[in-house]
């Protein structure tokens, strides 16, 4: 059996209501949509996209849903992560490789800590559109439309750059296709070799100022691999130790783009949004009666919903009713992002009420989006300790309520950026400017992401 994947149960067929079509979100209130200056140009771009091949296949999205069904029951654990916003400028084979590499390294540590398969989902190959708290941005008394992600406009603080340009949607599709192509090659072609990924982890432990703390667990993994070899398992050559399943996800924000890539599965007649395996709806667009939820209610991909501190059980019931009326396990992931200050107050009753109603969900924790603030130097940042503490409370609440902590959701990168404060290398306020490269929210860097995996492994064992 592949240690990085797991056998899944057959997937139920789910009928989409006859009243739904990929375009039936049109006419409903759609939050966070760009003000496209030329709607004719937008519709032409969407028509081009509608004629392109799907980026992912229905069967793959269905398989992910089955793996998430295991996560909903505590038989697997979801690791979802990647950039806050992918960009055209930061597109390179090395950056994609390094992002995959850090996720694979985290996954091995978590596999060992949780003693269960890790479902690996990237915020990648499509994460190009951003909801914004404000429609405008003001710098030195100049006010311009906000940056909404490379799918919409440019990050440069210049009025031309901030005009929404629908040709960007085609570039998003093309970059996503190239990214997926590389991911498929890396995950099948030997890059994901279990022993190699473990060696990278040993190198991380050796170089980390917190090395002693993590070396015991790394050593246990080494011994587990030696044990397999001693039992006659050919860890070095058995193909199951060389390949991994890796899925893609992004926020389904630009509904025209998502609609254009939605296709009917020729085998089953079910609709799938073929822009990614998993889609989620954000904290700002999760209105149960809004356009985003309407769109996602008809596709059979697994979907996520971000839940901030204001979320209540009635909203969750309404969302579950629309997004998973047949209560298919694995279909709906609730991604809580309460913030360290509110999680202990908000999470327990929500978890309890949803459990009492018997609604099957994967509970995932996004410890990033409730913990963002602006540093003294003016950089948007997050504290490593806040992220860790929200995770700790997430696990404690589920233990206390007898529910299943099913996964985690991070903004991270494989590079040594300085965007989040703290970690073993103690990034301080004054260090943020050294390598602050994100186009939107601050990401964990390579070392911070791995440290988090080691500390989560300790939590999962406990
Ligand atoms: C995000 O995931 O980048 C995001 C904007 O999250 P949220 O909707 O939870 O604020
Ligand atoms: Co973000």
Confidence of residue 238 (pLDDT cuts 50, 70, 90): confident
Give percent of the chain above pLDDT 90. 91
Give me the residues near ligand 2 (ion), CB cutoff below 5 Å: 84, 441
Q: Tell me, in angstroms, the distance from the centre of ligand 2 to residue 250's CA.
A: 11
> How far is the C-alpha of 407 from the C-alpha of 430, rounded, in Å?
33
> How far is the C-alpha of 424 from the C-alpha of 209, rounded, in Å?
6
Q: Tell me, in angstroms, the distance from the centre of ligand 2 to residue 344's CA.
A: 22
Tens of pLDDT, residue by residue over 262-279, are: 999 999 999 999 999 999
Of the candidate ranges 71-85, 107-121, 235-249, the one whose mean pLDDT is the lowest: 235-249
Atom of ligand 1 nearest to the CA of 440: 3
Mean pLDDT, residues 70-86: 98
Pocket test for ligand 1, best of 87, 121, 254, 306 (most atoms within 8 A of CB): 306
Q: Tell me, in angstroms, the distance from the centre of ligand 2 to residue 441's CA.
A: 5
The count of other CB atoms within 10 Å of the CB of residue 71 is 28
> How far is the C-alpha of 242 from the C-alpha of 252, rounded, in Å?
32
**Residue among 369, 337, 368 nearest 350 (CA):** 337
pLDDT over threshold 60, residue 95: yes
> How far is the C-alpha of 284 from the C-alpha of 264, rounded, in Å?
28
Q: Tell me, in angstroms, the distance from the centre of ligand 1 to residue 460's CA.
A: 25
Q: Which residue has the tokens 């204001």?
A: 310
**Which residues 6+ apart lie within 8 Å of 413 measured at CB?**
82, 83, 95, 98, 99, 102, 438, 443, 444, 445, 446, 449
Q: Tell me, in angstroms, the distance from the centre of ligand 1 to residue 283's CA.
A: 6
Residue 451 CB less than 6 A away from ligand 1: no
**Which residues 6+ apart lie within 8 Å of 199 measured at CB?**
none
Of the candidate ranges 8-17, 354-363, 371-380, the one whose mean pLDDT is the lowest: 8-17
CA angle at 461 for the pair 456 and 462, rounded to the nearest 5°: 95
Q: Which residue has the tokens 């890396």?
A: 186
Pocket test for ligand 1, best of 148, 282, 296 (most atoms within 8 A of CB): 282
**Which residues 6+ apart lie within 8 Å of 92 measured at CB?**
none
Tens of pLDDT, residue by residue over 163-184, are: 999 999 999 999 999 999 999 9
pLDDT at 12: 67
Average pLDDT of the chain is 95
Q: Please answer whether residues 116 and 110 qualify as being in contact, where contact means their C-beta atoms are separated by less than 8 angstroms.
A: no
Read off the pTM. Answer: 0.96
Atom of ligand 1 nearest to the CA of 441: 3
Ligand nearest to the CA of 283: 1
Position with higher pLDDT, 189 vs 402:
402
Output DSSP code: residue 283.
T
Mean pLDDT, residues 352-381: 97
CA atoms within 13 A on the CB side of 56: 32
**Which residues 6+ apart lie within 8 Å of 143 measured at CB?**
136, 137
Strands, E, within 278-345: which ranges? 278-281, 303-307, 332-336
pLDDT at 297: 98
SS3 281: strand
Residue 283 CB less than 6 A away from ligand 1: yes
15 alpha carbon, distance to own chain's centre: 26
**Residue among 142, 153, 130 nearest 440 (CA):** 130
Confidence of residue 282 (pLDDT cuts 50, 70, 90): very high
What are 81's strand-pairing partners?
122, 410
pLDDT at 240: 84
> How far is the C-alpha of 19 from the C-alpha of 278, rounded, in Å?
23
> How far is the C-alpha of 211 from the C-alpha of 460, rounded, in Å?
20
Confidence of residue 5 (pLDDT cuts 50, 70, 90): very low
**Residue among 446, 428, 322, 326 nearest 385 (CA):** 428
Atom of ligand 1 nearest to the CA of 284: 8
């Amino acid at each position: 059996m592949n240690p990085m994947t797991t056998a899944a149960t057959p997937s139920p067929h789910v009928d989409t209501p006859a009243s739904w079509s990929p375009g039936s979100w049109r006419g409903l209130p759609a939050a966070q949509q760009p003000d496209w200056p030329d709607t004719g140009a937008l519709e032409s771009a969407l028509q081009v996209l509608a004629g392109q091949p799907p980026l992912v296949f229905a069967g793959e999205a269905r398989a992910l849903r089955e793996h998430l069904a295991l996560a909903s029951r505590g038989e697997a654990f979801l690791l979802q992560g990647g950039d806050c916003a992918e960009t055209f400028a930061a597109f390179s084979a090395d950056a994609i490789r390094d992002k995959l590499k850090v996720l694979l390294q985290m996954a091995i540590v978590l596999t060992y800590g949780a003693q269960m398969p890790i479902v690996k989902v990237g915020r990648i190959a499509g994460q190009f559109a951003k909801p914004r708290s404000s429609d405008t941005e003001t710098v030195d008394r100049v006010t311009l439309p906000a940056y909404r992600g490379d799918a919409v406009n440019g990050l440069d603080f210049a009025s031309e750059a901030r005009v929404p340009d629908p040709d960007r949607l085609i570039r998003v599709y093309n970059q996503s296709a190239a990214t997926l192509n590389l991911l498929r090659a890396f995950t099948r072609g030997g890059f994901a070799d279990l022993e190699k990924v473990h060696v990278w982890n040993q190198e991380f432990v050796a170089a980390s100022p917190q090395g002693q703390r993590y070396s015991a667990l790394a050593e246990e993994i080494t011994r587990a691999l030696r044990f397999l070899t001693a039992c006659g398992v050919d860890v070095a050559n058995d193909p199951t130790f060389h390949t991994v399943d890796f899925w893609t996800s992004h926020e389904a924000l630009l509904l025209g783009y998502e609609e254009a890539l939605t296709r009917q599965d020729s085998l089953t007649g079910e609709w799938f949004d073929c822009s990614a395996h998993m889609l989620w709806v954000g904290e700002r667009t999760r209105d149960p009666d809004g356009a985003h939820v309407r769109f996602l209610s008809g596709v059979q991909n697994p979907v996520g919903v971000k839940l901030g501190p204001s979320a209540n059980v009635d909203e969750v019931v309404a969302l579950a009713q629309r997004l998973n009326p047949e209560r298919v396990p694995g279909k709906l992931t609730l991604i809580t992002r309460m913030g360290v200050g509110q999680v202990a107050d908000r999470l327990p009753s929500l978890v309890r009420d949803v459990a009492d109603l018997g609604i099957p969900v994967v509970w995932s924790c996004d410890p990033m989006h409730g913990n963002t603030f602006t540093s003294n130097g003016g950089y948007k940042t997050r504290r490593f300790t806040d992220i860790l503490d929200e995770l700790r409370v997430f696990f404690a609440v589920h233990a206390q309520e007898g529910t299943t902590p099913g996964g985690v959701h991070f903004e991270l990168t494989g590079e040594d950026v300085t965007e989040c404060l703290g970690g073993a290398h103690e990034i301080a306020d004054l260090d943020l400017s050294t390598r602050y490269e994100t186009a939107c929210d601050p990401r964990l860097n390579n070392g911070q992401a791995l440290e988090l995996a080691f500390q989560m492994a300790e939590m999962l064992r406990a």
